[in-house]
Amino acid sequence: MLRATAGLRPGTSSVIEVRDVRKAYGDVRAVDGVSFSVEPGEIFGLLGPNGAGKTTTMEMLEGLHAADSGEIRVLGMDPTHQAQAIKERIGVQLQTAALFPQLTVEELIDLFGSFYPRRVPVGGLLEQLDLVEKRNAQTKNLSGGLRQRLSVALALVNDPELVFLDEPTTGLDPAARRGLWQVIRGLQAEGRSVLMTTHYLEEAETLCDRVAIMDHGRILDAGTVKELVGRRFHERTVRFDRIDTLGDALLGGLPGVSRVAHEHDEVVLYTGDVPATIGGLLDAAATAGTEPENLMIRRATLEDVFLELTGRALRD
Amino acid sequence: MRRLVTLSRANLKSFVRNRAGLFWTLAFPVVLVGLFGTIFSGSDAPTFNVGWVDQDRSAASAELRAAVAANAPVTLVDGTLDAEQAAMRKGTVDGIIVIPAGTGGAIAAGRGGTATAPAVLTLITDPSRSTTSQALSQIANGIVMGTNAAESGRPPSLALTAQTIQTEQLNSVSYFVPSILGMALMQLGIFASIPLVQQRETLILKRLNATPLPRRTFVASNMVVRLVLAAAQTVLILAIGTELLHVKVTGDWLVIVGFVALGAVTFTSIGYLIASFARTEEAANGMTSVVQFPMMFLSGIFFPLQILPDWLRGVATFMPLTYLGDALRQTMVGGAPFAPLGVDVAVLAGWLVVCFGISARFFRWQ
């Protein structure tokens, strides 16, 4: 058993381990001391705006760039020295679908399959990615969604243990995006590990077991969405349409309320005790001869975390 | 091996499905051969200038001259053997007929039935000008057979031997067919840079780099594709040259195939060199033009190097196409050598090694 894990750090079986990795292009520190690990069977998301260093990080793991410093282990191996062995066991989908324009879908899958010692049948892949009808279409004639599905198919020709997906759903319409989410969940169900980048919060929230939030070449925080939110936002918010007769001073004095904020025409009460706050609110409103409209209780979301960490909204 | 085959097949399919590329690389040189063929085979004049070297100076030789001048489509130019050979090299006469001393005596002996040894006439032609040399050999045979027939039943008094001479003659389709084949191989090779740069720009090279495909297999596959295209190109041009333009290919096929392959690989290495330094497809297009046009016009493709001024000929001696064209002309139609074949091989191989060496150092996959 010890022999089998000889290439790994003692006590770990992570499919990816990254320690303090740096990569600069001239003066630009694209990746500036990144550490994280991906466990077997996990969908791990790198979330961040464009230019955050997600793609550079991923491409160092794929063996496409060498890191300036730091340690990388992919499937227990070092990409600078064991690139070939790693490449045989991973699947890669680049941010831009790079396809031979004059080849058909089936020819291209067949071509990529021939590069690997171990390959899955073309027919199965066509079905899995719903490309059967397009098997004889030249790739230059495919729509954006089909190109994206084909480039995911190409990432799976070698039955990889670990799949890298770089913004797989960018530019897709909502239906196509949900379709691809199904495919990615399917990869997990088949026992594969997935490292993906995205700049869609919703995608990270619904798809990823764990998320690392990146900006300016650094990982600001990492964990499950629940952990990320819980670490920063112990409180929930109680929201309702503004009632003019209830002033901030009164609302701030309600049980459990730590802070009062206004968003548009909405009052936002941050509270550690939702039932007490709502009870107090309803009483106060009744006393004033009214009741709150559009009353809502919300926990903080990944978006709030992102805003808090980076100081900006992701969709800017 | 399986990877090499599938990748080469994929690249070939891509090439063939790109109609515009197919036309410019494969069909255009064929059109060019056809065009030049028709223009220049037309100027293989219906009347020939023939050097007439009379070393006999007898009444009988004068009689022969009068008969030839009257009956054959020739203009006879009298002179010494040296003078006529010089004229033939310059292209002012198309061939030479030598009447040896003793011809008059041999004919007289033949008529009297006492011939012992026939007088041997010499016909000198340029074998690379196949139409002309065939016509002249018919004329010379006509002289010999006509004279011998008049004394039928008796031993012949005249015989014919053939000699060849290399001329600088340029208005011959035989010159163009191997030359344009050389040009086509050059274009096929250096235009390998365009798909390479396209594949880099569209990140296909990067994507391939993320697979276990070894880079050497990728490079080898490009070579295989260019060699297959070169073979197709050679067959097309030679078919037109031999079937439509009646060019006689005389050389050893194995040597010809060897030079076609060496030329294709050498120019593909120049294509790699261009792809190593061109960042965009536009830049690659510009660079291929810069490389191909001087070679097209200064490497003896459309006109022989001898008519260039010295300094331009100096430039030509560095160009690989000079040597490929030279080697193909020598081996295919017995053209006059610019350099010995060994030098042609050495120069082409030298370019191949240097261009690949530089490309291996500077080529970027992404």
CATH of the domain at B124: 3.40.1710.10
Contact B211/A at CB under 8 A: yes
Q: Does residue A224 contact residue A47 with C-beta atoms inside 8 Å? A: no
pLDDT tens string B119-146: 888 998 877 676 677 788 888 888 888 7
CB under 8 Å to B351, separation ≥6 — which residues?
B266, B269, B270, B320
Residue A14 clears pLDDT 60, i.e. is over it: yes
- Cβ of B13 within 8 Å of Cβ of A102? The answer is yes
The CA distance from B183 to B168, in Å, is: 20
Counting as low any pLDDT under 70, the low residues of chain B are 37-46, 115, 128, 130-131, 151-154, 166-172
Quick one: pLDDT at residue A6? Answer: 38
Mean pLDDT of A222-243: 87
- ipTM of the complex model: 0.83
Quick one: pLDDT at residue B154? Answer: 67
Percent of chain A with pLDDT strictly greater than 70: 95
Q: Specify the number of domains making up chain B.
A: 2
CA-nearest residue to A97 within chain B is B203
The three-class DSSP label of residue B108 is helix
Residue B17: domain span? 2-40+171-362
pLDDT tens string A262-292: 888 889 898 888 899 999 999 999 998 888 9
Contact B152/A at CB under 8 A: no
Quick one: pLDDT at residue A10? Answer: 46
Quick one: pLDDT at residue B171? Answer: 45
Q: Which residues of A touch B (CB under 8 A)?
A: 62-64, 84, 87-88, 92, 94, 96, 98-103, 107-108, 110-112, 114-117, 138, 154
- Under the banding of pLDDT at 50, 70 and 90, the label for residue A3 is very low
The three-class DSSP label of residue B73 is coil
- Cβ of B6 within 8 Å of Cβ of A116? The answer is no
Mean pLDDT of A237-261: 89
pLDDT tens string A64-103: 999 999 999 999 999 989 999 999 999 999 988 889 999 9
The whole-angstrom distance between A88's CA and the closest CA on chain B is: 6
Quick one: pLDDT at residue B148? Answer: 79
Mean pLDDT of A112-117: 94
Most confident among A9-23, A117-131, A229-243, B100-114 (mean pLDDT):
A117-131
- Cβ of A98 within 8 Å of Cβ of B212? The answer is no
- Cβ of B10 within 8 Å of Cβ of A94? The answer is no
Q: Which helix (H) or strand (E) holds A221?
A: strand A218-223
Residue A142 clears pLDDT 60, i.e. is over it: yes
**b/e map A179-197, b = 16+ CB within 10 Å:** bbbebbeebbeeebbbbbb
Most confident among A6-10, A54-58, A310-314 (mean pLDDT):
A54-58
Contact B39/A at CB under 8 A: no
Give the domain-ending residue among B115, B149, B164.
B164
Residue ranges covered by each domain of chain A: 3-229, 234-299
- Cβ of A87 within 8 Å of Cβ of B212? The answer is yes
Q: Which of A64, A108, A116 sits opposite B209 (nearest CB)?
A: A64
Contacts of A91 in chain B (CB under 8 A): none
pLDDT tens string B1-52: 888 999 999 989 988 888 777 777 777 877 877 777 666 655 555 577 889 9
Contact B7/A at CB under 8 A: yes
The three-class DSSP label of residue A116 is coil
Q: Which of A98, A103, A138 sits opposite B207 (nearest CB)?
A: A98
| Fold assignment, A3-229 | Rossmann fold (3.40.50)
- Under the banding of pLDDT at 50, 70 and 90, the label for residue A15 is very high
Number of A:B CB contacts under 8 A? Answer: 61
Contacts of B14 in chain A (CB under 8 A): 100-103
- Under the banding of pLDDT at 50, 70 and 90, the label for residue A314 is low
Helices (H), chain B: 2-17, 19-22, 28-42, 59-71, 81-90, 103-111, 130-149, 173-190, 193-201, 204-209, 215-239, 253-277, 281-298, 310-316, 320-333, 341-362
Considering the domain architecture, whether residues B241 and B321 belong to the same structural domain is answered as: yes
Considering the domain architecture, whether residues B179 and B283 belong to the same structural domain is answered as: yes
Q: Is the domain defined by A234-299 classed in CATH 3.30.70.980?
A: yes
CA-nearest residue to B213 within chain A is A115
- Cβ of B203 within 8 Å of Cβ of A96? The answer is yes
Residue type, A269: L
Considering the domain architecture, whether residues B244 and B304 belong to the same structural domain is answered as: yes
Burial class (CB in 10 A: 0-12, 13-18, 19+), A30: buried
Considering the domain architecture, whether residues B292 and B238 belong to the same structural domain is answered as: yes
Q: How many other C-beta atoms lie within 10 A of the C-beta of residue B258? A: 14
Phi-psi region of A217 (alpha: psi -120 to 50; beta: other; left: phi over 0): left
Quick one: pLDDT at residue B152? Answer: 61
Mean pLDDT of A123-140: 93
B24 versus A261: which is more confidently predicted? A261
Residue A9 clears pLDDT 80, i.e. is over it: no
Quick one: pLDDT at residue B240? Answer: 87
Beta strands across the sheet bearing A69-74: A28-38, A16-25, A69-74
Considering the domain architecture, whether residues B179 and B125 belong to the same structural domain is answered as: no
Q: What is the DSSP string of B120-150?
A: EEEEEE-TTSHHHHHHHHHHHHHHHHHHHHT
Quick one: pLDDT at residue B170? Answer: 43
- Cβ of A107 within 8 Å of Cβ of B10? The answer is yes
The CA distance from A230 to A76, in Å, is: 32
Residue with tokens 């770990």: A12
The whole-angstrom distance between B291's CA and the closest CA on chain A is: 27
Q: Does residue A2 contact residue A76 with C-beta atoms inside 8 Å? A: no
Considering the domain architecture, whether residues B349 and B233 belong to the same structural domain is answered as: yes
Quick one: pLDDT at residue B132? Answer: 76
- Cβ of B212 within 8 Å of Cβ of A88? The answer is yes
Percent of chain A with pLDDT strictly greater than 90: 62
Strands B119-125 and B95-99: antiparallel
- Cβ of B211 within 8 Å of Cβ of A112? The answer is yes
Considering the domain architecture, whether residues B62 and B179 belong to the same structural domain is answered as: no
Three-state SS annotation for A170-218: CCCCHHHHHHHHHHHHHHHHCCCEEEEEECCHHHHHHHCCEEEEEECCE
Residue A51 clears pLDDT 60, i.e. is over it: yes
Quick one: pLDDT at residue A220? Answer: 93
The whole-angstrom distance between B232's CA and the closest CA on chain A is: 21
Considering the domain architecture, whether residues B51 and B36 belong to the same structural domain is answered as: no
Considering the domain architecture, whether residues B10 and B102 belong to the same structural domain is answered as: no
Quick one: pLDDT at residue A161? Answer: 95
Quick one: pLDDT at residue B256? Answer: 94
Q: Which of B3, B17, B211 sits opposite A87 (nearest CB)?
A: B211
The three-class DSSP label of residue A244 is coil
Contacts of B366 in chain A (CB under 8 A): 64
Quick one: pLDDT at residue A2? Answer: 38
- Cβ of B17 within 8 Å of Cβ of A102? The answer is yes
Contact B206/A at CB under 8 A: yes
Q: Is the pTM of this model over 0.80?
A: no
Contact B210/A at CB under 8 A: yes
The whole-angstrom distance between B183's CA and the closest CA on chain A is: 27
Contact B202/A at CB under 8 A: yes
CB under 8 Å to A176, separation ≥6 — which residues?
A145, A148, A169
Give the domain-ending residue among B164, B196, B224.
B164
Considering the domain architecture, whether residues B32 and B114 belong to the same structural domain is answered as: no
The whole-angstrom distance between B224's CA and the closest CA on chain A is: 16
Quick one: pLDDT at residue B193? Answer: 93
CA-nearest residue to B365 within chain A is A64
Residue with tokens 């060994």: B342
CA-nearest residue to B199 within chain A is A100
The CA distance from A310 to A314, in Å, is: 9
Residue A125 clears pLDDT 90, i.e. is over it: yes
Considering the domain architecture, whether residues B238 and B354 belong to the same structural domain is answered as: yes
Task: Return the closest-CA partner of residue A65 out of B363, B199, B365.
Answer: B365
- Cβ of B3 within 8 Å of Cβ of A64? The answer is no
Measured torsion, CA atoms of residues B342, B344, B345, B348, in degrees rounded to the nearest 10: 160
Beta strands across the sheet bearing A236-241: A257-263, A266-271, A236-241, A296-299
Quick one: pLDDT at residue B151? Answer: 64
Q: How many helices (H) and strands (E) does chain A have?
A: 11, 13
Give the domain-ending residue among B124, B139, B164.
B164
